[in-house]
Amino acid sequence: MSNLYIKKAIVIGATSGIGNALSRILVAHDYVVGVTGRRKLELYALKNINPERFAVSAFDCTTENNSEKLTDLVNDLGGLDLLILSSGTGDLNDQLDFDIEHKTNLLNVNAFTEIVDWAFNYFEKQGKGHLVAISSIAGIRGSRMAPAYNASKAYQINYLEGLRQKATKSKKPIYVTDIRPGFVDTAMAKGDGQFWVASKEKAAKQIFGIIKRKKGIGYVTKRWWLIGKLLRTLPNSFYKRM
Ligand SMILES: NC(=O)c1ccc[n+]([C@@H]2O[C@H](COP(=O)([O-])OP(=O)(O)OC[C@H]3O[C@@H](n4cnc5c(N)ncnc54)[C@H](OP(=O)(O)O)[C@@H]3O)[C@@H](O)[C@H]2O)c1
């Protein structure tokens, strides 16, 4: 599948939701895309759309050696320009069930770290590249309803900021983008009181625009920037009663 003139991307978490919609957009814009996730059927459904443009690698990021899997996929693609990490998990956990928190941390913290570090080191060695991860507006403040989810997203936001600093210091054209969605209509959108819910197609279209502009941080949809600002300015004395 090697072709020097075609951009190569990997989307981790391409079986559904935002990652699935983004994979389709990338192929529509002439990328060759390596798609991953645990559900093989969903990955092959993508490949069936355009067998020449999709490469499939089905694996669980919390149990497999992510670095090995990604290296194999890059060899299959013949290079890598863009890696998008869209895998994520989390659940409402009013009872503070540790199994839920642990599962969330395994993917959103441990696997996340292994994957973004692998990608950064790959791009550093190559001298260029673009790393994109989907964090969340949820990472801005804590949550009594889903403590590990919000905390893991705060970790991602902070970690990506560190990598952005590292990329700037390297003086190489390496870009690190943190996408912070509000509500998007996927299996991940849980809980009552949802508003400004975007379709996954609309979210993916806006994310692709942010990627093209190589922005450091992008809110999706755009107006969630306002909520981000509001969340940051709410005083602790008020927030703790919410
Ligand atoms: N939807 C929202 O409202 C919203 C808001 C803010 C942020 N986000 C973030 O956006 C990202 C994408 O979520 P989504 O909304 O598109 O939900 P989604 O449709 O549930 O997608 C989650 C993706 O993660 C993959 N995944 C889950 N566990 C995995 C594992 N152990 N190993 C490998 N892949 C795994 C899933 O694939 P398999 O199940 O096939 O493995 C799936 O492709 C997540 O990081 C989420 O936190 C979503």
Q: Quick: pLDDT tens for 119-140.
A: 999 999 999 999 999 999 999 9
User: Ligand 1 pocket, 220 CB below 6 A?
Assistant: no
Atom number of ligand 1 nearest to Cα 181: 6
Q: Where are the domains of the chain?
A: 8-239
Centre of ligand 1 from the C-alpha of residue 237, in Å: 33
Centre of ligand 1 from the C-alpha of residue 140, in Å: 19
Which pair of structure tokens corresponds to residue 219?
Answer: 């809110």
Residue 3 confidence (pLDDT): 47
Return the closest-CA partner of residue 80 out of 2, 24, 19. Answer: 2
- In this structure, whether the domain defined by 8-239 belongs to CATH 3.40.190.10 is answered with no
Q: Residue 145, SS3?
A: coil
User: Ligand 1 pocket, 149 CB below 6 A?
Assistant: no
Average pLDDT of the chain? 96
Q: What type of residue sits at position 198?
A: A
Centre of ligand 1 from the C-alpha of residue 156, in Å: 14
For residue 198, the cross-strand partners are 184
Residue 1 confidence (pLDDT): 53
Taking only the tens place, the pLDDT of each residue in 195-206 is 999 999 999 999
Q: Position of tokens 């989907």?
A: 134
Residue 5 confidence (pLDDT): 73
Alpha helices in the chain (DSSP H): 17-28, 40-49, 66-77, 98-105, 112-126, 147-170, 200-212, 224-233, 236-239
